[in-house]
């Protein structure tokens, strides 16, 4: 269980700050909605370790995550754009999810398998910038599969996709979350996305998270 | 349109006067110029300068991008000032630090050969790598936050981070930047004049100057000029095919992703070497120049005459550059079609292909052919030549924002039925005042530090500070040269900082 308890942060120069409390369970998608500028991305930055809170706690199954650097946190993150390094092939992008020094044969097998799992077994050699928006997000999910981190943070990941692709990628995220037992936190302002996949829903209002 | 035609006509006249002289001047004696050797040595020097400057510039930009410390902005500003720091000042500063009587020789007893190819490369790399570092730093600071967060979350190593995030950000800029650096080094004049150490290390520009002023070999100079123009035009054509160098210098975001301790130590070492390399010569100039010897310089009427001449020429060139640049940029923005836009901008950009000494030679021949005493024409020619040389920078800086305004706000402006004056005062000026300030500062500083034009047109009574400094060096009056260098450096830095601030304030006042 991922637990945030009064995790507080205030951006420099802003009169009021945030104090986030939230619980998210494995195998479930927990959604957070809110108006633009309400603090959705700040919430993800705090969990991922890009921002340091002034007080409060952040634990995963009782383990304190706050002392950990972003690269040490048990977290994968997926953004609306820039999910891939576009000058690299899809396979090289996926391989970044493996620990450094992984044997080449092992790496090739893992990448092939991960790409197949997200429904893109044929794009391994293609450069990132030749893939469609939906393919890019799927490739990023394949990388997430290899990283084997229990928490997946999604920052508006479906916003740039057309309706049909969006539904397909959304369903893939839900399937993988259930199968892998990920604690998935979805930040979005699209009610359709949230209603389709979220088990638990929060809304940010005046710097606080309210359970809907 | 009229101004664009006048700018185009001038370049045609300059080229015509040079080619006509080449065709008619019989020459007084067989030329001693070894053209293939000159082209080869100049190309090698410029190529080495380009490669070394890009390498050092990339390392400096990488270090500056990663490190955060008090005074960082000052160092970024110091590197940015390299674009306006006159070559003659850096060359003189290098002599003050590394020369036979410089700081290094004085404190360590070690004498480093500063004259020759090594000294030229040293001076060029100090100037051009600093300039490159500022441009590349802007590219690194434009990397989207999402990308950095993804990389940090993936735990990329320092090498992976450079290869996957930094390199793709800077790579598109390198060909254009490299071409500019090659061009600057290929056409370098004061650095080569001061540090070349003789005919073995010349550029075409210095050879042209020597042919005109020392050997009176006008035909040889003209031949050199034509070769120079052809090569520069070729480089510019190659550069124009590369991605443009962005005019804006990017943001300076807080750096949350620190590299490991060893890599940080390497970054700090790179930065210290860079700051010492660029900063020490400048510091040496200020310490040597503002010492006790300054009094005797300030007592010379010739110094004050040159100071006012320099300031007047720089101010006149800056104002003229801004006016012509704004007019051409506005005409480009208002014109329909790519072809017409190119037609309006092309004459201004053509001056990139005409190096300083060549342009000066063209005006010199033009005045001579028209029966005008070059001494009488000198003040006007020096202002005009410096204006034309700064014009490509002015148009390339002012045209994009004006064209963006025309594209995005054109319909609204027409719907509101704004007059041309209203449009400029209320819409365009507040948005481009900052860019106009940068253009004016660049033109002022370029003109203040110019030696190429004044070297051909200067006389005993008509001299600017760089010419006075060059003469002081030639006469072994190093105290005077140091004082002039220090005053030029202070004037350049003050203009570079204050003029853009003044224009920003004017822009805000109007907004």
Query: Which tens digit of pLDDT belongs to each residue from B419-440?
Result: 777 777 777 888 888 889 988 9
Alpha helices in B174-292 (DSSP H): 174-186, 190-195, 204-209, 218-241, 261-289
Confidence band for B241, pLDDT divided at 50, 70 and 90: low
* Least confident interval from A92-106, A108-122, B449-463: B449-463
Residues B346 and B277 in one domain: no
Confidence band for B456, pLDDT divided at 50, 70 and 90: confident
Subunit contact A85:B144, Cβ cutoff 8 A: no
Residues B273 and B311 in one domain: no
Specify if B6 maps to a domain.
Answer: no
Q: What is the pLDDT of residues A164-175, one digit of tens each?
A: 888 888 899 999
Q: Report how far residue B511's alpha carbon sits from residue B430's, in angstroms, rounded to the nearest whole number.
A: 5
Specify if B284 maps to a domain.
Answer: yes
Residues B329 and B278 in one domain: no
H, E, C per residue of B142-204: CCCHHHHHHHHHHCCCHHHHHHHHHHHHHHHHHHHHHHHHHHHHHCCCHHHHHHCCCHHHCCH
Nearest CA in chain B to A85: B164
* Least confident interval from A180-184, B8-12, B154-158, B506-510: B506-510
DSSP codes, A1-45:
-EEEEEEEE--TT-SS-EEEEEEE-TTEEEEEE--TTSSHHHHHH
B143 min Cα distance to partner chain A (Å): 10
In CATH, what number is assigned to the domain containing residue B393?
1.10.3720.10
Of the candidates A71, A80, A86, the beta carbon closest to that of B155 is on: A71
What confidence score (pLDDT) does residue B249 get? Answer: 47
Subunit contact B164:A100, Cβ cutoff 8 A: no
Of the candidates A71, A76, A88, the beta carbon closest to that of B152 is on: A71
pLDDT at B250 over 50: no
A90 min Cα distance to partner chain B (Å): 13
Specify if B473 maps to a domain.
Answer: yes
Decide which of B289, B312, B327 is a domain's last residue: B289
Residues B311 and B259 in one domain: no
Closest CA to B359 of B12, B125, B22: B12
Q: What is the pLDDT of residues A70-102, one digit of tens each?
A: 888 999 998 877 678 888 899 999 999 898 888
Question: What is the largest distance, in Å, between two alpha-carbon atoms of chain B?
Answer: 74
Subunit contact B153:A81, Cβ cutoff 8 A: no
Residues B255 and B147 in one domain: yes
What confidence score (pLDDT) does residue B240 get? Answer: 66
pLDDT at B418 over 90: no
Interface test with A, best of B142, B148, B153 (most A CBs within 10 A): B153
Could you give the number of structural domains in chain B?
A: 2
Of the candidates A71, A82, A88, the beta carbon closest to that of B146 is on: A82
Specify if B508 maps to a domain.
Answer: yes
> In whole angstroms, how far apart are CA B499 and each of A157, B315, B438, B447?
46, 11, 7, 14
Residues on chain A touching B146 (C-beta within 8 angstroms): 79-82
ipTM: 0.81
Q: What is the pLDDT of residues B362-402, one digit of tens each?
A: 888 888 888 888 778 888 888 988 898 888 888 888 888 88
DSSP codes, B81-126:
GGGTS-HHHHHHHHHHHHSTTSHHHHHH------SSHHHHHHHHHH
Residues on chain B touching A81 (C-beta within 8 angstroms): 144, 146
Specify if B19 maps to a domain.
Answer: no
Hey, is the C-beta of B27 within 8 angstroms of any chain A C-beta? Answer: no
Of the candidates A82, A87, A88, the beta carbon closest to that of B150 is on: A82
Of the candidates A76, A87, A100, the beta carbon closest to that of B153 is on: A76
pLDDT at B412 over 90: no
Residues B239 and B310 in one domain: no
What confidence score (pLDDT) does residue B379 get? Answer: 86
Hey, is the C-beta of B156 within 8 angstroms of any chain A C-beta? Answer: yes
Specify if B3 maps to a domain.
Answer: no
Mean pLDDT of B448-460: 83
Residue range(s) defining the domain that contains residue B401: 290-511
pLDDT at B144 over 90: no
Decide which of B232, B264, B289 is a domain's last residue: B289
Residues on chain B touching A71 (C-beta within 8 angstroms): 152-155
Decide which of B269, B289, B309 is a domain's last residue: B289
Give residue A57's Cα distance to chain centre.
20
* Least confident interval from A62-76, B177-191, B314-328: B177-191
What confidence score (pLDDT) does residue B332 get? Answer: 82
Residues B363 and B276 in one domain: no
Mean pLDDT of B216-235: 82
Residues B261 and B352 in one domain: no
DSSP state of B222: H
What confidence score (pLDDT) does residue B110 get? Answer: 80
Ramachandran area for residue B216 (φ above 0: left; ψ -120 to 50: alpha; else beta): left
Residues B511 and B376 in one domain: yes
- β-strands A200-205, A28-33: how paired? parallel
Query: Do A157 and A80 form a contact (C-beta atoms < 8 A)?
Result: yes
Which residue has 């003659």 as its token pair?
B88
A33 min Cα distance to partner chain B (Å): 20
Specify if B420 maps to a domain.
Answer: yes
Threshold 0.90, pTM exceeds: no
More confident of the two residues B225 and B248: B225
> In whole angstroms, how far apart are CA A106 and each of A109, B46, B487?
5, 48, 66
Specify if B12 maps to a domain.
Answer: no
> In whole angstroms, how far apart are CA B298 and each of A181, B96, B486, B508?
81, 21, 12, 39
Residues B97 and B245 in one domain: yes
Percentage of chain A surpassing pLDDT 90? Answer: 57
Residues B488 and B341 in one domain: yes
pLDDT at B33 over 80: no
Percentage of chain B surpassing pLDDT 90? Answer: 23
Confidence band for A198, pLDDT divided at 50, 70 and 90: very high
Instruction: Tell me which H or E stretch contains A72.
Output: none
Confidence band for B235, pLDDT divided at 50, 70 and 90: confident
Residues B239 and B305 in one domain: no
Mean pLDDT of A23-40: 92
More confident of the two residues B299 and B510: B299
Mean pLDDT of B119-132: 91
Q: Report how far residue A72's alpha carbon sits from residue B402's, in angstroms, rounded to the nearest whole number.
A: 48
A180 min Cα distance to partner chain B (Å): 19
């Amino acid at each position: 269980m991922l637990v945030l308890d009064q995790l507080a942060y205030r951006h420099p120069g802003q009169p009021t700050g945030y104090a986030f409390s939230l619980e998210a369970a494995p195998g479930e998608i927990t959604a957070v909605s809110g108006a633009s500028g309400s603090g959705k991305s700040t919430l993800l930055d705090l969990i991922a370790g890009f921002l340091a809170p002034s007080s409060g706690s952040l634990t995963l199954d009782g383990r304190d995550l706050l002392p950990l650097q972003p690269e040490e946190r048990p977290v994968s993150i997926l953004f609306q754009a820039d999910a891939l390094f576009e000058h690299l092939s899809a396979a090289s992008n996926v391989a970044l999810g493996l620990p450094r020094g992984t044997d080449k044969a092992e790496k090739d097998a893992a990448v092939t398998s991960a790409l197949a799992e997200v429904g893109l077994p044929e794009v391994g050699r293609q450069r990132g910038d030749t893939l469609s928006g939906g393919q890019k997000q799927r490739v990023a999910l394949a990388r997430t599969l290899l990283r084997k981190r229990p928490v997946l943070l999604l920052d508006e990941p479906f916003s740039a996709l057309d309706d049909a692709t969006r539904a397909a990628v959304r369903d893939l995220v839900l399937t993988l979350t259930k199968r892998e037992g990920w604690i998935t936190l979805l930040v979005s302002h699209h009610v359709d996305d949230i209603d389709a996949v979220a088990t638990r829903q929060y809304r940010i209002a005046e710097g606080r998270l309210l359970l809907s | 349109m009229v101004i664009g035609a006048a700018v185009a006509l001038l370049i045609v006249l300059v080229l015509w006067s040079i080619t006509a002289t080449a065709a008619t001047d019989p020459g007084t004696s067989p030329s001693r110029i070894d053209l293939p050797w000159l082209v080869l040595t100049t190309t090698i020097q410029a190529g080495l300068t380009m490669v070394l400057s890009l390498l050092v510039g990339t390392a400096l930009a990488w270090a500056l991008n990663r490190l955060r410390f008090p005074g960082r902005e000052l160092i970024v500003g110091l590197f940015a000032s390299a674009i306006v720091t006159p070559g003659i000042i850096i060359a003189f500063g290098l002599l003050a630090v590394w020369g036979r009587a410089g700081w290094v020789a004085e404190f360590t007893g070690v004498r480093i050969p500063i004259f020759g190819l090594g000294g030229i490369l040293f001076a060029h790399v100090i100037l051009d790598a600093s300039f490159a570092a500022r441009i590349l730093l802007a590219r690194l600071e434009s990397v989207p936050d999402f990308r950095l967060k993804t990389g940090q979350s993936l735990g990329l190593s320092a090498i992976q981070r450079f290869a996957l995030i930094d390199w793709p950000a800077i790579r598109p800029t390198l060909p254009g930047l490299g071409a500019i650096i090659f061009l600057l080094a290929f056409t370098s004049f004061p650095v080569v004049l001061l540090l070349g150490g003789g005919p073995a290390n010349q550029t075409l520009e210095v050879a042209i100057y020597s042919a005109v002023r020392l050997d009176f070999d006008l035909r040889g100079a003209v031949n050199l000029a034509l070769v120079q123009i052809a090569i520069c035009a070729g480089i510019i054509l190659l550069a124009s095919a590369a991605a443009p160098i962005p005019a804006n210098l990017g943001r300076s975001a807080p750096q949350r992703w620190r590299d490991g301790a060893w890599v940080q130590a390497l970054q700090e070492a790179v930065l210290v070497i860079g700051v010492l390399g660029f900063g020490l010569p400048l510091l040496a100039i200020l310490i040597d120049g503002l010492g006790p010897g300054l009094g005797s310089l300030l007592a010379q009427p010739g110094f004050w005459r040159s100071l006012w001449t320099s300031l007047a020429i720089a101010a006149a060139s800056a104002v003229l550059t801004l006016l012509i640049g704004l007019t051409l940029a506005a005409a480009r923005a208002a014109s329909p079609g790519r072809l017409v836009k190119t037609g309006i901008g092309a004459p201004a950009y053509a001056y990139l292909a005409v190096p300083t000494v060549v342009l000066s030679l063209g005006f010199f021949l033009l005045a001579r052919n028209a029966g005008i005493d070059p001494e009488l024409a000198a003040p006007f020619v020096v202002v005009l030549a410096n204006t034309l040389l700064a014009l490509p920078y002015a148009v390339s800086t002012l045209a994009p924002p004006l064209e963006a305004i025309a594209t995005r706000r054109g319909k609204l402006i027409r719907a509101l039925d704004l007059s041309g004056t209203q449009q400029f005062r209320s819409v365009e000026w507040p948005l481009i005042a900052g860019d106009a300030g940068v253009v004016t500062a660049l033109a002022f500083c370029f003109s203040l530090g110019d030696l190429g034009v004044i070297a051909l047109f200067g006389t005993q009574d008509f001299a600017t500070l760089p010419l006075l400094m060059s003469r002081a060096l030639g006469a072994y009056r190093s105290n005077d040269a140091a004082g002039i260098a220090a005053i030029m450096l202070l004037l350049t830095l003050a203009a570079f900082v204050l003029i853009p601030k003044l224009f920003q304030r004017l822009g805000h006042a109007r907004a």
